[in-house]
Amino acid sequence: MNPNPELVAQNKQFEKQVIELAPNVYGAIGFAASNVYMLVGEDGLVIIDTTETTKAAENIKAEFRKITDKPVKTIIYTHSHRDHISGATVFAEGGSPDVIASDNFDSDLVEVDNKHPKPGKALMARTKRQFGMSLSWPDERVSVGVGPGDRPMEGMGAGFIAPTVSMTETRTNVTLCGFELELVKAPGETPDHLVVWLADKQILFCGDNFYSSFPMLYAIRGTAYRDFNAWADSLDTLLAFKAAILASGHTMPVIGADKVQQVLTDYRDAINHVVAETVAGMNKQLGPDELAHTVSLPPELASKPYLKEFYGKVAWSVRAYFAGTLGWFDGNPTNLAKLSPKQCAERTIRMAGGVDKLLSEAQQAANDNDHQWVLELCDHLIAAGEQLAQAKTLKVAALRALADFEINAAGRNYYLLSARELEESIA
């Protein structure tokens, strides 16, 4: 394995450490996929987010207990993703702190609908691939893009406490443990985002509405449409605070008022640019396959380290925007009733001159390092059920080659775990 060096270098964004952002304000970085923040108040603690596992939460709590022995009075969830809500019981320590979230908090840990079928198994399989669960660290799983590759897995999802206080207003001022905080609804990576403004110290806890990577506007584990425009508009909301410190849900906090304004402005502009270019292409009747290959960030944005595609990816975002606004149909009537993969494969193999000819083309493409073409040729053989062992072996090698090129951790992990699964299917 020879992973993309830029992806490896991104690991400095989540080296394990507790940092003091200001007197009585601490952040635990790199212990889990996500960050945890602690405000040490007069009579107790406010904890912002709680990681994805009870084990990671225990490790962080042990660090925090070196600083203070005050009880946790309040936990705030910035949003409902499991990497922010799953260690709450650890911080509660058997007590019953208030747990604050937005009133549209919608945990993906909670099965809310037992009446209708859900693709839960597919989602689980794809989630494992995106995060590279069971891949080896550090050779295979370099990171998860915005968090470390060697986080603990024990107690995944196990320490969730349902919110006890729901924020109904767009903006709410609260005093918690002596801290005057403003809680502001700011839909972004999720619709239920709640950001926390500590005016006294000019610190903005922004959840996942900013982290040091191009934003995850679509996650390949399988996510519903994320509202691009709402996220961009929320970045304007964040900009208006003129924060001195941006304490993000993942990656290192951003320190310095000018730097904070710069990263938030660029983040907003990047989302708006992707929307504008995609819409322009859609209005020219281009489909998602074409747009995924043509829409890109302008060089001045693409070169920013916090807009590199370590976690989100422009091409996936373009497809998500298309699907989220015009739906699955690309507008080309050919695709209203496409041949099945097997029907297409059988005809393509015949046109190529037979199975052996297609297989030798795939082998030649592999020799030419034309890895994506290897995948597409091998998929025809696999769909047709022809030369399965050779086709799968070639596909496995191509997936592993693509993984090493990939700057995107989710993409790398997905390629590598899929390669292993395919390899195991070769009888």
Binding site for Zn ion (CB under 5 A): 34, 81, 83, 208, 249
What's the CA gap between 174 and 241, in Å, rounded?
17
Cβ burial, residue 7 (10 Å; 0-12/13-18/19+): buried
C-beta closer to Zn ion: residue 282 or 410: 410
Largest CA distance in the chain: 78
| Sheet arrangement for strand 165-167 | 17-22, 25-29, 36-40, 45-48, 72-76, 98-102, 165-167
Within 10 Å of residue 111's Cβ, how many Cβ atoms? 9
Please say which residue, 308 or 371, places its beta carbon nearer to Zn ion: 308
Q: Which of 342, 27, 337, 43 is nearest to 205 (CA)?
A: 27
In angstroms, rounded to a whole number, what is the distance separating the alpha carbons of residues 191 and 386? Answer: 46
Q: How far is the CB of 78 from Zn ion (least distance, A)?
A: 8
Q: Would you say 56 or 292 has its CB closer to Zn ion?
A: 56
Whole-number minimum distance, CB 60 to Zn ion, in Å?
15
Nearer to Zn ion, 85 or 167 (CB): 85
Question: Smallest distance, Å, CB 180 to Zn ion?
Answer: 26
- Asked whether 376 and 344 are in contact (CB, 8 A), the reply is no
Name which of 55 and 82 has its Cβ closer to Zn ion.
Answer: 82
How far is the C-alpha of 372 from the C-alpha of 363, rounded, in Å?
A: 12
- Least distance to Zn ion from the beta carbon of 211, Å? 8
Q: CB of residue 186 vs Zn ion: minimum separation in angstroms?
A: 14
Looking at this protein, which amino acid is placed at residue 358? L
Number of residues that make up the chain: 427
| Shorter beta-carbon distance to Zn ion: residue 70 or 128 | 128
Cα separation, 145 vs 211, whole angstroms: 10
- Residue 83 or 266: the one with the smaller Cβ distance to Zn ion is 83
Minimum distance from residue 216 beta carbon to Zn ion (Å): 9
Element (H, E) at 84: helix 82-85
Q: Closest CB to Zn ion among 208 and 266?
A: 208
Residue closer to Zn ion (CB basis): 155 or 312: 312
First and final CA of the chain: distance in angstroms? 24
**Nearest distance from residue 409's CB to Zn ion, in Å?**
13
CB 75 → Zn ion: shortest distance, Å? 16
Number of alpha carbons in the 13 Å side-chain half-sphere of residue 405: 10
Distances in Å between the Cα of 131 and the Cα atoms of 83, 121, 198 are 12, 16, 32
- In whole angstroms, the minimum distance from the beta carbon of 3 to Zn ion comes to 22
Please give the angle made by the CA atoms of 136, 141 and 142, to the nearest 5 degrees: 130
- CB closer to Zn ion out of 34 and 80: 34
- Shortest spacing between CB 144 and Zn ion, in angstroms: 10
Give whole-number Cα distances, 338 to 102, 273, 332, 346, in Å: 43, 32, 11, 14
Residue linked to tokens 């493409």: 365
For residue 242, give both structure tokens.
């003129």
Q: Distance between CA 120 and CA 156 in Å, rounded?
A: 16
Q: How far is the CB of 34 from Zn ion (least distance, A)?
A: 5
Q: Which is nearer to Zn ion, 50 or 418 (CB)?
A: 50
Q: Nearest 5°: phi and psi at 323?
A: -65, -35
